[in-house]
Structure 1
Amino acid sequence: MKHRLLALAVLLAVSLVLFSPAAHAEGFVHADHQRIVDGDGKPQILRGMGLGGWMVQEGYMLGLSNLGAQRVIRSRISEIIGARKTEQFYRSWRDNAVTQADIDAMAGWGFNSVRLPMHWNLFIKDTAGKSGPGKIVWNVEGFRRVDALIAWLKANRMVLILDLHAAPGGQGNDLAISDRDPQKPSLWESGDNQAKMIALWMEIARRYKEEPTIAGYDLLNEPNWGFQDKTDIHGCSETGNKPLRDLYERTIRAIRSVDTNHMLIIEGNCWGNNYAGLLPVADRNTVLSYHKYWTATTQETIEPFLKLRAQYDMPLWNGETGENSNDWYARAVELAENNDIGWSMWPLKKIGSNNPLEIPANSQYRSFASYLRGEGEKPKAGDVFAGLMRLAADSRFDRNIRHADVIDALLRAPHSGRPISDQEP
């Protein structure tokens, strides 16, 4: 009997070491029961922006909603200017669309965090004929850009959330979000794709396990897939979510075999909002993230998530929200912060005016975009290339149009009823 009691005591002690956030997150942002706290254990409200469009372009961000996924946009570009010049454009885009100037500005405005949507193919070379984690060849470009972003954030005492936005094979039937090709096996239809996803998180954990500038790993952005009922294509009525739960559990075990420091973030099915069958999570340094778009900013709209927070004793984070009016932004932020919930708006910039920064579209690009929408004649290849390269250059912070009213709506208006002066915030 004594031996059994001793064994139970040892097991309990091991469990406390494995799952207590204080045991493995000192100096790191982490989950502390129902709050996110900083490295010193003080409650922290994450106020951030998502860098959507940098590594993963969605069609609407470029005025090309009809094309949707990045792979389709890239293919249409390549048809006119060729593969080499297409790659030149995309490389210039990634060089310009996010730089230190963007991060410096965000810090100056009052943001304290950034969510980075990652595309798997910037981290893994898609080598034909090879499969499994042992055969993976790492793409240094993705890690190089993460390293640069970390340096810029560190200089501004901001933190980073790494978000797997486009997983191998794609995680949903909303194709643009994850750049999914429906003619190929999805994440859910391929063990090889799942192995690549887990291996990628293990490699990220290996490289960054001692980096406190990273606040957490957002394991899978907006899964939207019907597992039990194939007619429920986005998984909004899913009651089990077993494949998603299993993938999360395998990914968490893999990360924790390497990295016991960083906070983990999980999203439900149905674009991050259906948590049926996914909870509880054994790892105590885990946050539940919901996404909020185009719904009212009243308390009852987030009550289901508040109940999950209380029931499972874990923090909430509004990991993606936005694409609305300034008044809605102010009320959405007020709602979140009144309930001790941090947030990340989406996105920092795009072609369009309801974000902090707007990328101007030059006349040559506008003509090309009209053609791609079926609204104009086919332009000359030289004009297309010139317009694309100008667009990439204009994606730089110093060429963006700044919308001070949006920044004000996010960072001042939720906390003050006083009108602003004639000076910009």
Structure 2
Amino acid sequence: MRLKGDQQTSRAINRRLILNLLRREGAISRAEIAAITGLSPAAVTFVVTELLKEKILVEGEASPGAPGRRPIPIDINYAGRLVVGLQLKVGAIDCVLTDLATTPLVTKQVTVPDRLPQSAVEACAKAVKELISDRGAPTTAQLSGIGIAIPGVIENGVCRLSHRFNWADVPFAAMLAELVHVPVWADDDTNAFALAQQLFGLGRHHRTVGALAIGAGISCAVVIDGSVHHGANGAAGKMGHSIYDHDGPLCECGRRGCLQTFFSEPALVRRWKEARRLSGEVTRHDMLSAAQAGDSTAIDLLQEAGLGIGRFLGGFCNIVDPEVIVGGGEAVTFGDFLFEPMRDALKRYALWSPPPITPDWADDSWARGAAALATQRLFDFESNPGEVAGVGLQISGV
């Protein structure tokens, strides 16, 4: 029987409620689901039965030793479906095949010969095929979708603007979907990172999560009640393009003095190299080693960066009021040399008690963030920005 509109909406809301509860709390019984959500036992039974048939949920073993009828725990069948996460970087793509909890099953990095959109799309399609092939072990799990993380302004799967790649109005998700024929989602890389933290990471038990990324650029995304705030034009969170010094260096955006021209990871390493008059290739690891050895130039630069970013982060907290801020990007390597002065600045500039700043040290957190774009579709009944649908897994053209 076809459900009426209001029944369909009620069903979708109940599915979302139950799935997100299980995502946060883990395996619990039907009775516990009803007690926590306030749904009737009949409504819980209806939704759970439906999700069991779809193999989205699984039943566990009844608890031993309890008198009477022992409750059977229900949990999400994380292994029942697969997703792919692709993080686009200049010259390379970080790729990961995960389960629905974004647990990595296969990881790899592929190179891209140039910055042309078609080259990146073809490399992505080839990587998807290789990830599935490299999985090796036979599985009945289906590939549910692909998430793509792109540094830039992303709207409905279209890269409206990426200074990093010099792209404008590139329908990247649709281009990839034509080759792989499964649903594809695309978003800004920091938004994807923030979503992964809220779903399964350090922000899992919080309603409002900030995600600070300090890598090739600087940005700060926010997830509120499971939804990334994109802004009117998909450009929310571009903290790195706030002006730090009007007479500062030229930014990739065409303006001078943006925050990231001073304190992005490449900018910090470059400034340290120039100040120390070093030759040859110098990395953030060299700068960290120098700071650990007492190099005052490295220490002072990192303190300046922490205080400078922390000041803008204080303004962010005064507007958004996040419960926690998760730090990511290459600059987390600097650890407390960067984050301690940042916390000090946050105490100074945040109006209320500042939220904790917690770095995510995992190397694969960004590609997993891309995978979370696909995983989120299961936990949210609303259509997600950036989705382009496909049918079946048929990878063509590679």
Whether these two folds match at TM > 0.5 is no
| TM-score, structure 2 normalization | 0.30
Structure (1 or 2) with the greater strand fraction: 2
| TM-score, structure 1 normalization | 0.28
